[in-house]
A = this chain, B = another copy of it.
Amino acid sequence: MEKAIKEAKKGVKKGDSPFGACIAKNGKIIAVGHSTVLSGKNATNHAEINAIRKACKKLKSHKLKGCIIYSTTEPCPMCFSAIHWAEMKEIVFGTTIEDVKKLGFHELTIKAETMKKKGKSGVRIKSGHMRKECIELLEFWKKHGGKTY
């Protein structure tokens, strides 16, 4: 998660939104990513999607079995579904969709747990991991202009 926060801060400094992700397998980091929706002018460039795309490239596969994704904020339904498609093992996140919706993000208000249940996904979900540090990241972004999508 530390790596995901560091990556998110890199993005914030460039004017992007405060989201970072890190994908690990067997304790080894495979890929990191931060949101580049604004700088890349692309609606799909969320931190998790960027990290998944990099990880697929690195592992030369559309499946990321056995991988864990650490997201500074709860994955939105787009990212949750991408994680499901990639057959990753676990999602670990800090702040929630509600936390960032309050900050002005145009979120679909569907929690990862609801997506899992409704969609019958096998992915494990752990919430509130390093929540304090992830809230600090949102504060850091506010100080840097706080641009939403």
Contact = CB atoms under 8 A, between A and B. Distances in A.
Interface of A: 37-38, 40-45, 49, 52-53, 56-57, 60-64, 76-78, 80-82, 84-87, 106-110, 114-115, 118-121, 149
Contacts of A120: 108-109
Contact of A62 (B43, B76, B85, B119): B43
A34 to B, nearest CB: 15
B78 A106 contact: no
B149 A85 contact: yes
Contacts of A38: 62
In this complex, the member of A40, A60, A61, A81 whose beta carbon has the largest number of chain B beta carbons within 10 angstroms is A81
A96 B38 CA distance: 32
Contact of A44 (B41, B49, B76, B106): B49
Given A109-B119, A120-B109, A52 B62 contact: no
Given A41-B61, A44-B49, A77-B80, A85 B56 contact: no
Nearest to A80: B77
Contacts of A64: 43
A76 B56 CA distance: 20
